[in-house]
Structure 1
């Protein structure tokens, strides 16, 4: 696992990591992919990046630690979460799932009403699973994918790894780095406010949904950042994921489809240190918040952009989710011919942790060098990295995670949650409070 971490750290910084201890075996998660090793390296990279921020404050971070069992728990924290002792409901809507097509398989993502409408409109059927299954069965998987995506829905054909490698988007992803970190404007160096935590006084504006972006914000909050999540009252949410990823964050609503809402967002950005967003590529730019506008509005800002399929290629603007990317890029391909997904949503969680590491790396460079910085990652890029790590035995041991859980009050009730992963002796990461109900906070920064 150490060589995996070395590779990630080189991608982030161009150097070797400092003092770090990795423990545990990879058999804590089933399947042939080295998910537990990738999870451990991702947790370690983010914790090392926090340690580098701590050094800027004159505090010795100590030896960073990351354990495979704890990292595995963090990578399916939404499944382990309890509210008042009750486990989370299914995150999947009734029409979401894998469907057998005339020549293979296709996955449809219907967790949001507009995506369900795209499936029904694209296939010309009512909103019942039996009707959708019948329509899919009579067409090729590629035809279904094209029809649903063209109608504004979200779908993915099950491709083999070889088919993905030959696909124009697969080729585009292969040409991109795991993490893109580049300056996009001039700005003076920023002075850190006094704090005994790595990100104390750092303001993070989070415009994200679902999983990867919220996981990144959750990691930053655990290292002391003031994270303000911005949503909208009229937009649907997957509450089970919100309850899990909202630890340590404030939550406010801003209607970005109104002039007043966009003015409020400009005011928030003008005082932010970090903006992390996972809107569909190009969506923020269309309403006046592209990289150039952001750099002018807040010189010195760290901008983190997350996407499903990368920022180059014919699918650069395609909406996508972890389960869909696994189908597209061949990670769900199995010799049986049926989809075989990863044991956890590793592309989402991995991208979230790596984004947090990249953001902290960019913050350190902003403090030491100045400049406005842009960070870019994608689920497909994380999938390519995971695929490159090789394979392991598919078997797994039975794992008890109970000692990694803690309780906290939240707006939803008493949470039993996975404790923040990654050890940093100089300032152990933790969340200051549990998940707040969506929209309960004012869209302003703390004094």
Structure 2
């Protein structure tokens, strides 16, 4: 029987781990505190797993460098001698509407097409600005979403708390554990105290940004991460940061051959991490019962944008949009004394959710190792926003603005795009530190198979 006490449900208390380093982000919210707690959660769950699997005779101490933790919430990759592509499409951004502000997220071509179709204007920021100015925010948001796009009207915290989706989120746990079942872990003789996840096969079906952060974290402890993208997929300016340590493959899951290849990979996987909205995998013929039939002993962790209950549970979303919806950008504007949206200094919802997903994987592995039972974990960016809104600000010291040369490891990373530096790891478990065997690689650069299969 799975004990509820064994399940990870919240962030660790600051007094339960050691913190080194100084500094914090200047924000209306406890962003650096969230970064510390996120890395500490990973560290503590890794310590428990190492003890449960015999890699340590005791629960090891966890140390978090708070400066590095904050910096990893930004961008860990620094190109050397070349420039990264822009993170944003020219149309993406905040626009003033008749009754406030709305954010359009147009990095993907079909999302951009949906917004322009509703607005009926040219693909030009000035034309979009003029068109948006004629709309009220909520009707425009609703129309773009109905067209298959993604947008978020800026609400206050008070407005979000009484919104049907905000009320649904208030009743959701930070980590929603569902569908417990017997799980027998595969033996991993490669695992050592230095590389505790060596031999662990992690199948990654995630996109920007939280899910890839989770699997990058697992790769840092030795896991064999195989990410599957649609053919031709790319995330310019992002993939360099989050493909570290992974094999990057492509399969068309809407094609029968590609789907069968994926099922074969899933049958050999120890962990499945995905970011599909509720029901999306069912539409591909990969319902939960089917996944369990194919891989009965898998650990599964997933996320979505707006939570797993309520009217927006199937709504597409990204960190920057959730910040607008949930009152974070509005609170930031009031805190800064400006009349424009003021988001967090980094995409903290993505990062915190990603590290907590990794911690949930480790927690499920521990329960499987100790009681031969595991549940699946569900997280969301919007629920993380609620967590952040409730977190007190406690850190002092210098304001963190950018990474300095000494924040990077000295080794050159030979990425698919050119040489780069990578931030030094932010968490240590006893003597165990994160390290990655593979540099960042482009989408579709590896075959869709397990290297040791």
TM over 0.5: yes
The corresponding residue for 2:447 is 442
Structure 1 unaligned regions, length at least 5: 1-7
Kindly indicate whether residue 152 of structure 2 is the aligned counterpart of residue 156 of structure 1.
yes
Q: What is the CA RMSD across the aligned residues, in angstroms? A: 2.3
Q: Which of 416, 419, 422 is the aligned partner of 2:424?
A: 419
Task: Output the CA distance in 2 between the equivalents of 1:241 and 1:292.
Answer: 33
Q: Which of 33, 44, 47 is the aligned partner of 1:48?
A: 44
Task: Output the CA distance in 1 between the equivalents of 2:48 and 2:379.
Answer: 21
Kindly indicate whether residue 383 of structure 2 is the aligned counterpart of residue 381 of structure 1.
yes
Task: Output the CA distance in 2 between the equivalents of 1:13 and 1:322.
Answer: 20
The corresponding residue for 2:221 is 223
Alignment of 1:26-425 (within 5 A): 27-60=23-56, 62-77=60-75, 81-196=77-192, 197-235=195-233, 237-333=234-330, 334-335=333-334, 336-391=338-393, 397=399, 400-406=403-409, 407-425=412-430
Q: 1:322, 1:379 within 8 Å by CA — same for their partners in 2?
A: yes
Task: Output the CA distance in 1 between the equivalents of 2:325 and 2:373.
Answer: 37
Check 1:245–1:14 CA distance in 2 against 1; reply closer, same or farther (3 A cut): closer
Task: Output the CA distance in 1 between the equivalents of 2:16 and 2:314.
Answer: 39
Tell me how far 1:59 sits from its aligned partner.
2.8
Kindly indicate whether residue 435 of structure 2 is the aligned counterpart of residue 430 of structure 1.
yes
Tell me how far 1:390 sits from its aligned partner.
3.0
Deviations 1:141-188 (A, max 9, x none): 112111111111100000000000000000111110011223443333
Check 1:424–1:393 CA distance in 2 against 1; reply closer, same or farther (3 A cut): closer
Moved more, 179-188 or 148-157: 179-188
Deviations 1:25-73 (A, max 9, x none): 4x42111211001101100111111122222342336321002101011
SS of 1:348's partner is: helix
Q: 1:106, 1:158 within 8 Å by CA — same for their partners in 2?
A: yes
SS of 1:270's partner is: helix
Deviations 1:339-367 (A, max 9, x none): 11000000001100110001110111112
Tell me how far 1:315 sits from its aligned partner.
0.2
Task: Output the CA distance in 2 between the equivalents of 1:267 and 1:176.
Answer: 34
TM-score (norm 2): 0.91
Structure 2 unaligned regions, length at least 5: none
Task: Output the CA distance in 1 between the equivalents of 2:281 and 2:317.
Answer: 17
Tell me how far 1:330 sits from its aligned partner.
0.1
Deviations 1:86-135 (A, max 9, x none): 35333110000000001100000000001000101122222111221111
Check 1:364–1:126 CA distance in 2 against 1; reply closer, same or farther (3 A cut): same
Task: Output the CA distance in 2 between the equivalents of 1:390 and 1:13.
Answer: 15
TM-score (norm 1): 0.92
Task: Output the CA distance in 2 between the equivalents of 1:28 and 1:392.
Answer: 10
Tell me how far 1:23 sits from its aligned partner.
2.8
Task: Output the CA distance in 1 between the equivalents of 2:13 and 2:28.
Answer: 28
SS of 1:240's partner is: coil
Deviations 1:395-436 (A, max 9, x none): 962555322212321222212121222012342211112112
Number of residue pairs matched by the alignment: 436
Tell me how far 1:281 sits from its aligned partner.
3.0
